[in-house]
Every structure is written in structure tokens, then in C-alpha cells.
Amino acid sequence: MSADPAAYGDLQAFSDLDLDDIAAAAAALCRTPVALISILDGDQLWFPARVGTDQAQGPLAHSGCAVVIDRRAPVVIGDMTANPATQNSEFVRGETGIRFYAGYPLFTSENGVLGTLCVADMQVRPQGLSQQEHDGLAALSRQAMRLMELRRQTLAQARRLEAQQIRRERAARQAKQADAERRRAMEKYAVQQAAGAAGGVGIFEYNLSSGDVDVSPEICRIIGLPVAEILTAAEWCQRVHDADRHLIPALSELLDGSAPLKLEYRIIRADDHKERWVLRQGVLDRDDAGRPIRLIGTLQDITPERLATSRLTTLLAIGDVLRTATTRQEALVAACAMLGKRLDVQRVGFSAIAVRDQVFTVEQGWCADGVSPVSGAFSFQAFRRVADFLRSGAVLILNDLAAVEWLGEEQEGCRAIQVNAQIVVPKMEHGELTGCLFVHSATPRDWTLDETSFIRMAAERIFTALEEWDIEARQEIVNREILHRLKNTLSIVQSLAHQGFRNVNDQGPLITFTSRLVALGAAHDLLMRRNWQSTDLASLVSGVLTPLGIEGRVRISGPFLKLGPDTATSFSMLLHELATNAMKYGALSVPEGDVSVSWVIGNVDGEAVMSLSWRESGGPLVTPPSKTGFGVRLLRAGLGRYGKTELHYAPTGLCADLTAPALALATV
């Protein structure tokens, strides 16, 4: 086993005076001109210490050293030219001309062969070495190896020191780099903290094993706790609203990765006990095995956004309930309830105001549980200052009535109805105060700009709906008056007709004329109930047949079909003529007869067309009339230029078919 020569230094630049002395001592001991300390390096020999030659290296092959190294024992060769192992050596055949060789192996502490200590002579020595020379060379070889081992240890120590120095320098560089990175991270963290504080966003890091939560100052501000660097998971969860604690994932859910990483829930702040909405978002940090070890994320106060969304939803709901309510009172109560519950106040209501009479009339609104309602009439004297303020058209906003000196004696009246803070929105018409929407709080309250805007928008919707209800009520009164006068006019016409036909023996035309007036009045009555805008065909048919007492003998079927005012009048006359004709001459003139009235809406050349069929059956045999009277002319005229009427006098009963464009029927 050979040793590693690199452990003993650079063989090309090897220099050691002590080894030179050992080589000189060996040459003197053996009386040879040449002495070498050789070190094996692959297939080369290096001579770091030498006497009698300037050659620094030579080949291993066929050298005496090769024999020593191979045998791992001392070798003496009296005549190298006669020895097969060395006779072809460069040292023998070359200019050196070595003939005698004696060498001792240099053993390392690991029992490896590093090289040899050898002597050489240009003369043959058959006698070899004496015992004294043998012993001396052995001692010198051991001494040389001790020096070489010391050199190896010195070099190893130097290399260790150099490696330590390199490691120290590397560690110093890494520490410097880490310190720079730490400073950059701190600067970045400071920037993030500042940005988070500016945007209302806090940063946290939840250690899943310890339960500690590293938090930024903004986290503490959002939760309402004193600023701290670390919170426990229990302290965090303690701030969660009781109704939302089921939303917070358990530790086991975080560890198995099934927990939601984005949550919205409510908290109760520790300092002022106010309810706030927060958005928590995070990511799971995992170890090399993929197991979650930390939850890193942000916490943001989203109360304004949630309130804005909630208020918008409430405004839409108020609009819906105002639109779908069947009575004015139902609309007012429902809208006030939505407004009051959203604001978490004690009372919301509407008051009609008669400035000339100086009276507030409080209509029933909404009250929270345990709060007494307020209704009825109140004199301006009781709330003179409030009334004067509202007449300017400005919104009255009072955070704490006890702190408002200008209210004076009105404070006592407010406290009597449990009002300590309020907002009152005036309802103005043509510059005059006609009503107000009031919102009452039983405790002092700092009304926010968002709350004030929300109340004003809700009030505008409520005021608009109330105006529509009032307009409809006034229109209903006008319609009833118009209908009353129309009926009076028709009664006068009927009276004049009776007087004109009083001396006429045949009263048939008078009866027919009177029934047509009744049909015309029924059509007008139906339109009056619809504000003279429109009606539908099914309602019109029932309205015409019911006064005649034959609605039970007429089968009616067909889809909804809108009729305009003029069309409704024409239809009523046509249906009345058909019904009275059936009662006098057709199917309804006998007990077993009946009538079918049906209509459908089809498509003709891309246009919706109504087709109505009047079918009589079970009556007497029908024959075409011998002469054309007013009734027949009325039926054939039908719906005028917008439609067409066909009459068929079938033996089984009269058949009438009316067709007209559905759009024309609805708009005329």
C-alpha cells in the first residue's frame, strides 16, 4: 500500500535541511558518492533530499527503489547490471552508471510505503553492506520518516488552519450577507407594516405547533388590543363573535390542510366592544415533508364594505316592498321595519305635517321589541324648534339630545318617548313641509356620514312611494266622481228615452236601447276601476254578462288579452248585442241552450292576432234574418277598421268569429 505524497507538500518545491542532513549522513555511513530520499508519486520518483546528484526526479521502472517498494523490505544489489529487475534501469544504462544500490523503505504511520532512503555507487560491491551500515541506514530511514510525518502533520495543521480561516471568512461573509438580508427584510417588513396600517391590513404568522401568533401592530388595532408582538390563538379566538365561532377552523383542519384559507366573520373589539367585520386570508407554510407548520396571512377590517353592501341590499328590499305592498300602511310599516333593523335603532316612522294647522300626525311605523310606539296628532307647540328647523328643508341630525341646548323644553318630550338621539328627514313639496321620516335611538349615538346618507336615500324611496299612494287615492276619488257623473248622465239619457217613447206602442226598441246604455255603463265602470287606462278581455266579458244574469250559462276560456279604452267600449257593445240576441232569439232563449265564448292568440305573418269565437248550441232552429237591423249592422261592423267579423247562421246556433291584431286591441 502506497501513501499519498500530496499530504507531504509540493514535491516540486520540496526543501528540508534536516532531510538533507540525513541523506548526507547515509552517504557518509556507507561511503557512497550518492544518497537519496525518494518519494513515490505514481510511476515517478521525487528526490527531495539528495547527495551526489542534481537530478530532482526519475522513473520508478527498473529502479532499485521499485524493488524496495514492491518487497516492502530493505534491498541490497551488489551489481545492478547483473540483476534482471534493475539492469534496464535508466540510472544503470545512462550517464549516471550506477552499479551498487542499497535502500530501506519509508513506512508511514498507516504502514504504507511513502518512498525509500537509498545509497548508490558507480562501483560494484559484491560484499554489500556491513551490519553496522545496515543498522545505520535503518535508523536513518526511521528518522527520515519521523521528519516526513512531522512535516505531514504540520502541513495538515496548516491546511486545517487555512480551512478554518476560509470557513471563518465564509461564515463572516454569510453573516454579513444574512445581516444585509435581515436589514432588507426588516425594511421591507417596515414598509409592509406601514402600507398595511395605511390600508387597514394587518399581517400575522400562526405557529401551529406552539399556538403563538406573531402579529403586526395593525392586527392589534383591528382587534382592539394593546400593541404586542405575539398573541396566543386563544386570545385571537376570544375576540370572534359568538355567532361566528363555528366558522373558525380547528387546529386539526389546519394540520390536515382541509381548513378554508379565506374567511369573513365578525369580531367584538376588546377596547370599545364594537362589532366589526374582518376578512382573514392566508397561506399554509409546509416543512420538507409537506406538513403544515405555519399559517401566514393578513387581517383586514371590511366593516365599511359589508355595511355598504348590506345597506344597498336593504335599499333594494325597501324598493321591492314599497312596489309590491297592497296598501299604503303595509308599505310604510314594512319599509320602516327594514330601515330600523338595519340601523339597529329603536323606532322608525313617518309623520304627516299640516303646516297651516300646525299639527304633526304620526302614522304607525316600526318599533323594536320593548319600545312603545308613537302615533297620533301632536301640536307644533310641543316641538316648535324641531318644526322650525325642518321647514328649512334641512335634515335634523342629533347625536345626543342632552347636549343640544337650543332644543330647550323639547328635550323633556323626547325623553318621555325614549329618544336620546335622532335623525329627521323632511318631506318637501313645492317648498312646503308636508311630512318627515324620523329615526330614534334610545341612547346617544354618533351618526356616521354613511348612516345619514343611507337614511336619506331610504327616505327618498319611502316619500316617492307615499306620493304614489296619495296620487292613486286622489285619482280614485276623481274616478268615482267621474263615474258617478257619467252614470247620472246615462240615467238622464235613459229618462229622456223613456219620455220620448212613452206614447209608442212598441217598447222593444226602448228596451234594446236601455240595455245598450247599461252595457256601455258597465264598460265605463270597469275602465274607471283601472284608471281609464286598460282592462282585459276576460274581465270585460264577465262585466257584460253578469248584469244580464246569464254568466252561468256562458262558458268562457282564453288567455290574458289587454284591451285599450276604445276597444273595450266597442267590445262591450258587441258582446252585449250577441248576449241579448241569444236571450231573445237564440240558445239562451230556452232552458237547455248554452253559449261558448273562447279566444286564442295566434301568429299571422309575424304578427300576434286575436281570434274570438261565439258559439251557440241547444237553442231553436236558426234562420238568417229577412232584414238587417241596427243590431246586425253593429255586429257586422265589429271592431271597426282594426278587425273583422264573420256571422254564420248555422241551424244549430249562431256562430260569430272576430279577429283583430292583439297590439291594436291593447293600444286603442
- Domain at 224, CATH number: 3.30.450.20
User: Which of 109, 126, 158 is at the close of a domain?
Assistant: 158
The answer to pTM > 0.75 is no
d(CA 644, CA 636): 8
The confidence score (pLDDT) of residue 424 equals 92
Same domain, 460 and 334: yes
- 108 in the same domain as 18: yes
Domain co-membership, 587 together with 631: yes
Domain boundary among 251, 271, 306: 306
Looking at residue 532, what is its pLDDT?
Answer: 47
pLDDT tens readout for residues 18-51: 888 999 999 999 999 999 999 988 888 988 889 9
Same domain assignment for residues 289 and 233: yes
Calpha distance 493→349 (Å, rounded): 51
The answer to the question of residue 188 being in a domain is no
Owning domain of residue 296: 198-306
279 and 336 in a common domain: no
Specify whether 393 is located in the same domain as 528.
no
Same domain, 447 and 579: no
Residues of the chain with pLDDT under 50: 484, 527, 530, 532
Q: Determine the residue type at 395.
A: V
449 and 594 share one domain: no
429 and 531 both lie in a single domain: no
Q: Show which of 306, 334, 367 is a domain's final residue.
A: 306
Hey, which residues does 316 pair with through a beta bridge? none
The confidence score (pLDDT) of residue 42 equals 87
- Residue 418 falls in which region: left (phi positive, over 0), alpha (psi -120 to 50) or beta: left
Considering the domain architecture, whether residues 377 and 522 belong to the same structural domain is answered as no
In-domain check, residue 109: yes
* Inter-residue contact 637 to 621 (CB < 8 Å): no
Residue 133: inside a domain: yes
Give residue 495's pLDDT: 56
Which CATH number characterizes residue 417's domain?
Answer: 3.30.450.40
Q: What is the CATH number of the domain that holds 519?
A: 3.30.565.10
Residues 292 and 334 in one domain: no
Number of domains in the chain: 4
Cβ contacts of 588-595, under 8 Å, gap ≥ 24: 588/550, 588/553, 588/616, 588/619, 589/619, 589/620, 590/618, 590/619, 590/620, 592/618, 593/553, 593/617, 593/618, 593/619, 593/653, 594/553, 594/554, 594/555, 594/618, 595/550, 595/553, 595/554, 595/555
Domain identity same for 511 and 466:
no
Q: What does DSSP assign to residue 531?
A: T
Query: In this structure, are residues 267 and 278 in contact, taking their beta carbons and an 8 Å threshold?
Result: yes
**Is residue 184 in some structural domain?**
no
- The radius of gyration of the chain's CA atoms, rounded to the nearest angstrom, is 59
Q: What integer pLDDT is reported at residue 77 of this predicted model?
A: 92
